[in-house]
Amino acid sequence: MSANKIDFNKALTSEETLDPENWDQLKSLGHEMVDTMMDYLRHLRDQPVWKKPTREARHSFNRAMPTEPQNREDVFQDFLQHVLPFAKGNVHPKFWGWVEGNGTPFGMLADMLASGMNSNLGIGDHAAVYVELQVLNWIKEFLGFPMDASGILVSGGSMANFTGLAVARNSIPDRDIRVKGLFESPSRLTVYGSTETHNSVQKAIETLGLGSQSFIRIPVDKNYQIDMKLLREAIDKDRKRGRIPFCIVGNAGTVNTGSIDPLAQLAVLAKKENMWFHVDGAFGAFAAVVDELKDEIKGLQEADSVAFDLHKWMYMPYEAGCVLVRDKKLHRKSFHIAAPYLISHERGLPAGPESFGDYGMQLSKGFTALKVWMSLKEHGTEKYKRIIRQNIAQAAYLEQLVNQSPELELMAPVALNIVCFRYMHEDLSNEELNTLNKEILMTLHEEGRAITTYTMLGDAYVLRVANVNHRSRKEDFMQLVHDVIEIGNGLLADGFKRDRIIKRVI
């Protein structure tokens, strides 16, 4: 609809706003909201880790879209009744599912401040832009990445991987893919990573137009690290048949087991082969700050690009991901597009630092950096180092408990903070053990005892504990082992036998 079709005299007769008529009432409600969430976080241990949304709660989300205003207090009560009690649970001390951090109270407040400012970091000379630039410099210093590298905060590891791989694709010499596209390249461009590489890498490769067949998955060794010999052979084979190997992806903490690829060796190989070296460090990149692990993570600083999440092993509230790129010019070349409405000026709001829109897909970009900036100032890097080390020590402790328990079996080496194990019984086949362990996991969840998740290692279904939880304590892992054994023994005692196991669960 064009503007001249609107009767502006009628529309402007009574102008409105979305601000409150009574600021003091909203202020009072805001204080109540803050108190509610602080009490909720303070007393997490008194709550089950997870509760399935009730039928009433689910039904409440099928209501018609409101056409008229509702009382704010009623809206908040709806949240208290139907939303908050059925949270995912990843703020809880006994949540070790997937790889999900649990945030902090101060980070929550920082998000409130950021929402109040409602800054768009896409372009302009304003404080939020400088906050993100400082955060990026702090992160580069923290991880030992070159200070002249570029970077950008993004939603999470998936977008960080996409951004890094987009720069990798666009940096291929003599191809000018950004202008000509892939149609000018008759040879397949290939990316290499282990079979343990996160699926976001494949999504990025597909989205970038390369096709999933361009992602060459290399088998892993017994420690779930990429097999260097097979990688070299694959690159050589592809070159001989006319393909163009252009990128190697290394894992700093695989999502299944937490294994770290030999990053230093990958960096050397990538340089020798004139290939881009991208590191998916979604959570494991921050192992680089722990002195005892620096040798294992060595090579991260040699990457051409590194993707990681701050909402995982830096405990920031969602969302907060990041990508760093060694070559700032190549990074900018991959995303910059001149537009008359984005021209920088000498003065005024259009002046200031270069637009973040020149370094990523987003022009509309929220003030994610504020919670990172405030959290780093609140705790300092040394405390983060201690808690990361604490999580690793807790995983080692859980490994010890598993090895000491006849009813449990460790299923993979514990490299960082991920422990894969299962309940074991010698009278059950592997298929039956898989079904039994799945039932144990679902029972843990439904009874609100703990959230572990799961994966398949070979043909074995295993319970998987990924510890990026600053609230977990030693006794929580003792209780987890006790609960797994108790549930497993109880299921077997309750007739969970060979002749019934498949029918009961599947």
Q: Compare 245 and 7 and report the one with higher pLDDT.
A: 245
Is there a single domain that holds both residue 403 and residue 437?
Answer: yes
Q: With beta carbons less than 8 A apart as the criterion, state whether 309 and 320 touch.
A: yes
In a domain, 364, yes or no: yes
How sure is the predictor about 183, in pLDDT bands with cuts at 50, 70 and 90?
A: confident
* Model pLDDT, residue 249: 98
* Model pLDDT, residue 505: 46
Query: What's 395's domain CATH number?
Result: 3.90.1150.170
Cα–Cα dist 444/50, whole Å: 10
* Structural domain span for residue 31: 16-46+51-86
Is there a single domain that holds both residue 229 and residue 152?
Answer: yes
User: Is the pLDDT assigned to residue 100 strictly greater than 80?
Assistant: yes
User: Is the pLDDT assigned to residue 305 strictly greater than 60?
Assistant: yes
How sure is the predictor about 399, in pLDDT bands with cuts at 50, 70 and 90?
A: very high
Q: What is the DSSP string of 361-383?
A: S-SS---THHHHHHHHHHH-HHH
Cα–Cα dist 324/273, whole Å: 22
In a domain, 201, yes or no: yes
How sure is the predictor about 8, in pLDDT bands with cuts at 50, 70 and 90?
A: confident
What residues contact residue 41 under an 8 Å CB cut-off, 6+ apart? Answer: 91, 105, 108
User: Is the pLDDT assigned to residue 504 strictly greater than 60?
Assistant: no
* Model pLDDT, residue 185: 65
How sure is the predictor about 14, in pLDDT bands with cuts at 50, 70 and 90?
A: confident
Q: With beta carbons less than 8 A apart as the criterion, state whether 420 and 457 touch.
A: yes
Q: Which residue pairs from 36-40 have beta carbons closer than 8 angstroms and sit at least 24 positions apart in sequence? A: 36/80, 36/84, 37/105, 37/108, 38/105, 40/84
Is there a single domain that holds both residue 312 and residue 412?
Answer: no
* Model pLDDT, residue 118: 96
In a domain, 204, yes or no: yes
Lowest model confidence (mean pLDDT) among 45-54, 171-180, 305-314: 171-180
Lowest model confidence (mean pLDDT) among 131-135, 370-374, 493-497: 493-497
In a domain, 343, yes or no: no
In a domain, 101, yes or no: no
User: Is the pLDDT assigned to residue 127 strictly greater than 90?
Assistant: yes
User: Is the pLDDT assigned to residue 452 strictly greater than 90?
Assistant: yes
Encoding tokens for residue 32? 């109540």
User: Is the pLDDT assigned to residue 189 strictly greater than 80?
Assistant: yes
* Model pLDDT, residue 5: 84
User: Is the pLDDT assigned to residue 506 strictly greater than 50?
Assistant: no
In a domain, 283, yes or no: yes
Is there a single domain that holds both residue 370 and residue 399?
Answer: no
Q: With beta carbons less than 8 A apart as the criterion, state whether 376 and 135 touch.
A: yes
Region 135-161: mean pLDDT is: 97
pLDDT digits (tens, 9 = 90+) for 38-75: 999 999 999 999 999 999 999 999 999 999 999 999 99
Q: Say what the pTM is.
A: 0.94
User: Is the pLDDT assigned to residue 499 strictly greater than 70?
Assistant: no
Amino acid at 394: Q
In a domain, 94, yes or no: no
pLDDT digits (tens, 9 = 90+) for 207-256: 999 999 999 999 999 999 999 999 999 999 999 999 999 999 999 999 99
How sure is the predictor about 502, in pLDDT bands with cuts at 50, 70 and 90?
A: very low
Is there a single domain that holds both residue 219 and residue 255?
Answer: yes
Q: With beta carbons less than 8 A apart as the criterion, state whether 250 and 277 touch.
A: yes
Region 343-353: mean pLDDT is: 91
* Domains in the chain, number: 3
Is there a single domain that holds both residue 155 and residue 251?
Answer: yes
Is there a single domain that holds both residue 70 and residue 114?
Answer: no
Is there a single domain that holds both residue 114 and residue 220?
Answer: yes
Query: What's 136's domain CATH number?
Result: 3.40.640.10
Is there a single domain that holds both residue 274 and residue 402?
Answer: no
Lowest model confidence (mean pLDDT) among 135-139, 332-336, 494-498: 494-498
Region 334-346: mean pLDDT is: 92
- Percent of the chain past pLDDT 90, that is, above it, reads 89
Query: What's 60's domain CATH number?
Result: 1.20.1340
Is there a single domain that holds both residue 375 and residue 387?
Answer: no
Region 343-358: mean pLDDT is: 91
Cα–Cα dist 84/479, whole Å: 25
* Model pLDDT, residue 182: 83
* Model pLDDT, residue 497: 56
Residue entry with tokens 């361009």: 214
User: Is the pLDDT assigned to residue 482 strictly greater than 60?
Assistant: yes
Per-residue DSSP letter, 123: S
Q: Taking all residues of the chain, what is their mean pLDDT, rounded to a whole number?
A: 94
Backbone angles phi, psi at 245, to 5 degrees: -70, 125
* Model pLDDT, residue 3: 65
In a domain, 8, yes or no: no
